[in-house]
């Protein structure tokens, strides 16, 4: 590759902050909310973008970005097409991972857990909150399927616009939310000389969170 910079020379020393046990507290959901608020206050764009990793029946991992759309005491919610590649992978293995990277704060959060569909009522409510164009798009796109040409989804889009002219657009059954219920949440704060801070919360057999420090 003929790059203007040598990729191997790209490096950054992390100096912004430290992370200690006292700051992390005892509840990873409370601490996640705190970091999320701090990312919001820092005006980071798309702070709710997270990498979702799934695994298929051949144990091949797949990763892509999705948007966090809800957080409650049970877990992390996002929306997608249930018949997409990720939907099929989740069907065969409900064990997934999420990663947030807030580079402006030199922070990463890694989440591992079990995933399941959210209630239909919850999916309906969120679907109806979306702009009409996105709702039509959910009908028009057979997500992850191979298509011969872009015109296929554009024709589909026009077809559904005609089908739902009054903007009364119901949620397609193949579209809805998933909730990731974590058993591992790790908070990573970059530090100088690669001596980063890593605080891991692990759910034990009694359902309580245990906190550990990991070597960077």
Ligand X SMILES: Cc1cc2nc3c(=O)[nH]c(=O)nc-3n(C[C@H](O)[C@H](O)[C@H](O)COP(=O)(O)O)c2cc1C
Q: Which residues bind ligand X (CB under 6 A)?
A: 46, 49, 62, 64-67, 78-81, 84-86, 143-144
Exposed (0-12), middle (13-18) or buried (19+): which is 147, by Cβ within 10 Å?
exposed
Q: Which is nearer to ligand X, 82 or 201 (CB)?
A: 82
State the helix-helix crossing angle for 120-129 and 132-140, rounded to 10 degrees: 120
Among the listed residues 64, 194, 198, 211, the single catalytic one is 194
Any residues with CB less than 8 A from the CB of 47 and at least 6 apart, and which?
A: 36, 39, 40, 100, 102
Min dist. Cβ of residue 46 to ligand X (A): 6
Neighbours of 31 (CB within 10 A): 20
d(CA 160, CA 138): 10
H or E element: which one contains 198?
strand 197-203
* Residue linked to tokens 């024709």: 155
Min dist. Cβ of residue 36 to ligand X (A): 16
Min dist. Cβ of residue 65 to ligand X (A): 4
Q: Which is nearer to ligand X, 56 or 74 (CB)?
A: 56
Q: Which is nearer to ligand X, 84 or 189 (CB)?
A: 84
Q: Which is nearer to ligand X, 12 or 146 (CB)?
A: 146
Are the beta carbons of 172 and 186 closer than 8 angstroms?
A: no
| Nearest alpha carbon to residue 49 among 73, 31, 66, 24 | 66
Q: Is 198 a catalytic residue?
A: no
Min dist. Cβ of residue 143 to ligand X (A): 5
Q: Which residues are catalytic?
A: 194
């Amino acid at each position: 590759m003929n790059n203007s910079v040598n990729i191997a020379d790209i490096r950054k020393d992390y100096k912004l902050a430290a992370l200690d046990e006292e700051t992390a507290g005892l509840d990873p959901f409370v601490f996640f909310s705190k970091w999320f608020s701090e990312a919001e206050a820092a005006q980071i764009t798309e702070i709710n973008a997270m990498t979702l990793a799934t695994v298929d029946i051949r144990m091949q991992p797949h990763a892509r970005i999705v948007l966090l759309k809800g957080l409650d005491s049970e877990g992390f919610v996002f929306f997608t097409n249930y018949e997409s590649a990720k939907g099929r992978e989740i069907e065969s293995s409900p064990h997934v991972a999420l990663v947030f990277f807030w580079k402006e704060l030199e922070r990463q959060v890694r989440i591992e857990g079990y995933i399941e569909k959210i209630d239909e009522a919850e999916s309906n409510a969120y679907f109806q909150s979306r702009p009409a164009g996105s709702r039509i798009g959910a009908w028009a796109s057979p997500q992850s399927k191979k298509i011969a040409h872009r015109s296929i989804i554009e024709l589909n889009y026009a077809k559904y616009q005609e089908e739902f002219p009054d903007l009364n657009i119901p949620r397609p059954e193949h579209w809805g939310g998933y909730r990731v219920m974590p058993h591992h949440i790790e908070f990573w704060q970059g530090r100088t000389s690669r001596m980063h801070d890593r605080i891991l919360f692990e759910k034990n057999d009694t359902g309580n969170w245990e906190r550990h420090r990991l070597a960077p």
